[in-house]
Structure formats: C-alpha cells, structure tokens
Structure 1
Amino acid sequence: MSTETGTVTGSDTSRIHNIGYRSYDGVRLGRAYARRSLYSQSLRGSFGLGRSAKSKVLPMLLCGVMCLVALIIVAVAMAAPPGTMTKLPIKYTAFAIYLQAVIGLFIASQAPQSVSRDLRFKSVPLYFSRPIERVDYVIAKFAAMTSALFILTGLPLVILYVGALLAKFDFADQTAGFGQGMVSVALLSVLFAGIGLVVAALTPRRGFGVAAVIAVLTITYGAVSTVQAIAWSTDSMGAITWLGLFSPITLIDGVQTAFLGASTNFPGGVGPGAGAGVAYLIVVLALVAGSFAVLMRRYRRVGL
C-alpha cells in the first residue's frame, strides 16, 4: 500500500522520480516544410523510390519505354545519309500524343498509389493534425503527380532535342519546336494529374482506382475518336472540332494545334483554329480548377 509520500510500505528503496516533459527548443519548421516534405515523398513514390523493388518496376519501365522511343528516333535521324533529313521524323508536340497509352498507364498506376492507400489505411487524418491543412495535402499531391508526369513526358523531349542538335539540324527551328513541346507536355501533365487524382481519390481500393483511371482515359478517347471518324465520313467537318472537347488527350491536341503550331491528329487533319482553340483552353483550365475543387471537397469529408 502506498503512503502519502509515494513510498511503498515495507520497501526502503522505493522512490518517485520526476521525469516531466521538456519543452521543444528547436526550430519549428511549420506548414511550408511539411508541405514540401509531402510533395517530395509523393514525387519519389511515383517512381517507386523509397519503396520496395517491386514498386519500382512499372514506373521505371514506362519511363524507360518513353526514353527508348526517343532514342530510336534520334538514332534514325543521325544514321540517315547527310542531306536527306533536315528535321526529326516526329514533331515535339506529337510525341506525347503518339505515346498516350504509356502516359495513361503511368497515371493509372501511380495516382492510386499516391492517394488511395492513405484513404484505405485511414492515415489521412494523421496528415491533418497540425501543422498541415487539407489544402496543403491537396496541393502537395497535385504538384507531385504533375511533376512526375512532366518528368515522364519532358525527358524524352530533351533527348530528342539533344539528338537533333547533334545531328546538326537547324538550331532555331529545333529550339522553337522544343519549347512548344515542353509547353504542351506541361499542360498535359497538369490536366492528367488532376483527372487521375480525382478518379483515384474516389475509392480507397487501389485496384479499383487503376481500373477507373484507365477507363476514364481510354473510353473517352475511344468514344470521341470513333464519333469524329463518323463525322468525317459523313462530311460533318465542323463537328470534328467540337467533339474534341470531350476527351483529355484530344483537348491537348486541340490546344497545341491552335496555339503551338502542332499538326492535329483529328480525322482529315481538321483541327481547331484560334477561336475554337480558346474554347479548348478554357475547358482545360476549367477541368484543372474543377479537379482541385473536387479534391478539396473529397478531403473535407475525411474527418479526424
């Protein structure tokens, strides 16, 4: 039995030690540091860095495929007899359009990895304990996925540009094309990141998230392309332009055709002019802003 002094009866060696907590004297890094840390961790995770070896296989393989295609194009250009080629066989703005399947698979696999696991294991409320806020979480995840996509799509363009300069193609022409291509993939990265994260955040199941992202990107593009082909076969040329507003990849195609000097992949080569291009750009920006708003609303519902 204990006495008032805290000594146990019958024990001469018992005593109470004061081990009270000390106040923290270090630097308080605050929300900005937490946001940067979450961004860095999410970006690294998009390529499997800091995770298991199995997690690195798919993102690194997809990035390798993108770079390998660029290297093959450069090799063809450099191996051609002198004077037979004056530019690369593919435009910088067309590269991501042709490899959209690889980009779609990357966002489908990595967007759920970025957000679905936090929802599934209910770790999101831990982030929302101080100092980080919901807006910080959404900004960090959105920025990290955008950066990962920009690396995936921008690195092959750098390879193409360096190869074109080594092949001694016109510097001014290649630099202008490279700049247009980088603007195009930057816009694509923001758009695809927003759509991918929104779809993935709707379910805590990673497998469902992967399937849902693939379905959204594939079905919309397939449906739009099919209806555009039907419109072209029936000489409804005006409809082809406006149908492109209903698919993410055709939206990017339309914007870069209208403003970046790209050649459209629409049936019959009918792309939007400057007027319709404004509508394309507005829809892209609206989708990006809408994706951010939906993510904010989604994470308001995740309580402590």
Structure 2
Amino acid sequence: MSSHTPGAAPETTRIHNIGYRNYDGARLGRAYARRSLFSQSLRGAYGLGRSAKSKVLPMILFAVMCVPAAIMVAVAVATKANKLPLEYTNYAVVMQGIIGLYLASQAPQSVSRDLRFKTVPLYFSRPVERVDYVLAKYGAMASALFVLTAVPLVILYLGALLAKLDFATQTEDFAQGLVSVTLLSLLYGGLGLVMAALTPRRGFGVAAVIATLTITYGAVSTVQAIAWETGSSGVVQWFGLFSPATLIDGVQVAFLGATSNFPGEAGPSTSVGVVYLLVVLALIAGSYAALMRRYRKVGL
C-alpha cells in the first residue's frame, strides 16, 4: 500500500508479519500457579530472588534467632549440664521481640506492593483466583515464621543429643516445641497479613503489625502483674486471652507442659486452656476470612 502527496517524496507503508504463534505448551493450571506464588512469596520473605539490600534484615533476624540457641548448646556441652538452659516451648516466647520485628518487616512486603501498584487484579485473571492468592500468601508467611522459630529448636535438639541428654525426654519436648511454634506461626502470620493488607503503604503496615503484637502484649502483661500484686490471681489467666503472645503461652502451658511466663507462673488450667485454644483457632480462621474479604474488594 502506498500514498503520495503532490510535491512530496513518495512514502511507502508496509505491514510486517512479526511471527506471533499460538501457545502449544502444557497448561499447568491453578495448582501450579498457586505453588509458584507460594514459593515466590516464601523466598521473598528471606530476600531470596530480591536485591542484596532486601536480604540484610531478614537474614540478620534469622541469625539473631539462632545464635542464642547455639550458645545454650555450647554451654550445655561444656558444663555437661543435665538439661538445657531454656525449654523448647519457651524459646519463641523469650524471642518474641525478634519474631515481631521480622513479621513487621516482611508481612507488608508480601502484600503491600501488590496493593500499592494495583497488580492484584492481574493475579486474579485466570487461572489464579482469590482463594489461591490468599492461601499462597498466608501459607508462605506462616512457613517463613515456622522456619524462623523452628530452626533454633532444631539446634537445641541436636545440641541436647550431642550433650548426651535423655533421648526420649528431649524428643518429646522437641515435638511439643514444634507444635507450639506451628500454632504461633499460623496465628502471627494471619494477624500480620491482615494488618499489612489494610493499607498499600508499607510504613503503615509495619506500624500496624508492631502495634498489634507489642502494645497488646505490654498492656496485658502490665494488667496481669497488677492483678497478681493486688491478690486477684484468679483473673490473671483470663487477661491472657487479649494478646497473641500470651495466647500461645497459655495454650502450651495447658496442653504442652510448658512453664508459664505469667506473673507467679499462674498459667491457665486445662479447662481454661480449652478457651485459649478455641480463641487461637478462631483468630486463625478469622484472619483467613478477613483476607478473603479484603481481596474480594481489591481484586475487582
């Protein structure tokens, strides 16, 4: 095809075949897309596949979680102690500040960028659906927290065997510790993602996560201490229902034989522990439901 304007040089227009072809490869479907999103999100929680700067904080926090366990093992081996300095079930409770900082830094990066740059609707184009996105993100965040909290327990367990502590006792205690950090990872992961998903601004997400974990724990611990000092020891266990950290503490005291971190070691009884467990499970289910509701709106 050509066109010519009087007084101008001839101009030729061509249509080129640039070789588009139909895709004839395997259609891997929703399951593959969900696994890929899970894997990408889990790797991203430790900065893998991202810039070097993104790896610094999660790797430092991971090291900080593991170093005390290694030190305890070294002390137990060197002194030929008959038990570890800290119970498996209490390790995460003692290190909860590091866990909270990790969650505050990584939960927003997992979801806030998708919200800020409005890429969520692109995920929800076929074959990925809303439930796939939520399951992948929730599963990745909980798995990242499990790695953070379980690896130090593995170090303690291997160190205990190296120190020739009783195998059966250490294995039972180690298994109880794994159950505890599994519940913690599901609870913290869900709450962290819900807080982070409320806003596309990462800074606000970080502040919301820190406030949810730190302020609630500080307030509950203070009220529990006041109640104990004033002789109202019976209500100490009920105040523990209002903080994620004390909820996990109460569950492991009631069912996993852990030593309570409540004032005066006034942990919940088994009957009250059932209430603790139901609240933890309700919060996990509620976090999932809240994420599904949130992404019903942003996915439009």
Judge same fold: TM > 0.5, yes or no: yes
Flag as ranges the 4+ runs of structure 1 deviating above 2 A.
7-11, 13-23
Does 2:2 align with 1:8? yes
What's 1:297 paired with? 293
Paired residues for 1:11-30 under 5 Å? 21-30=20-29
In structure 1, give the amino acid aligned to 2:78: A
Paired residues for 1:1-304 under 5 Å? 7-8=1-2, 21-80=20-79, 82=80, 85-304=81-300
Tell me the secondary structure at the aligned position of residue 169 of structure 1: coil
Q: Write the deviation string for residues 230-287 of structure 1: whole angstroms up to 9, x where unpaired.
A: 1101111110011100000000000000000100000011111110111000000000
In structure 1, give the amino acid aligned to 2:58: P
Distance 1:15 1:251, change over 3 A: closer
In structure 2, give the amino acid aligned to 1:56: K
In structure 1, give the amino acid aligned to 2:44: G
Report if aligned partners of 2:130, 2:299 keep a CA contact under 8 Å in 1. no
CA distance in 1 between counterparts of 2:33 and 2:104 reads 26
CA distance in 1 between counterparts of 2:250 and 2:264 reads 14
In structure 2, give the amino acid aligned to 1:109: S
Report if aligned partners of 2:42, 2:141 keep a CA contact under 8 Å in 1. yes
Q: Write the deviation string for residues 44-99 of structure 1: whole angstroms up to 9, x where unpaired.
A: 0100111111111110000000110100100110110x4xx211011000000000
Shift of 1:8: 2.3
In structure 1, give the amino acid aligned to 2:122: L
How many pairs are equivalent? 295
In structure 2, give the amino acid aligned to 1:277: G
CA distance in 2 between counterparts of 1:217 and 1:9 reads 71
CA distance in 2 between counterparts of 1:14 and 1:70 reads 73
Distance 1:144 1:233, change over 3 A: same
Shift of 1:22: 3.0
CA distance in 1 between counterparts of 2:289 and 2:17 reads 50
Q: Percent identity?
A: 73
CA distance in 1 between counterparts of 2:13 and 2:41 reads 51
Shift of 1:17: 5.5
Shift of 1:21: 4.4
Shift of 1:37: 0.6
Distance 1:244 1:167, change over 3 A: same
Distance 1:17 1:56, change over 3 A: closer
CA distance in 1 between counterparts of 2:225 and 2:21 reads 71
CA distance in 2 between counterparts of 1:167 and 1:106 reads 31
What's 2:7 paired with? none
Tell me the secondary structure at the aligned position of residue 301 of structure 1: helix
What's 1:4 paired with? none
What's 1:3 paired with? none
Report if aligned partners of 2:220, 2:242 keep a CA contact under 8 Å in 1. yes
C-alpha RMSD over aligned residues:
1.6
Structure 1 alignment gaps of length 5 or more: 1-6
Q: Write the deviation string for residues 103-152 of structure 1: whole angstroms up to 9, x where unpaired.
A: 00000000000001110111111111111001100000000000000000
Deviates more, 1:170-179 or 1:294-303: 294-303
TM-score, normalised with respect to structure 1: 0.94
Structure 2 alignment gaps of length 5 or more: 5-9
In structure 2, give the amino acid aligned to 1:45: G
TM-score, normalised with respect to structure 2: 0.95
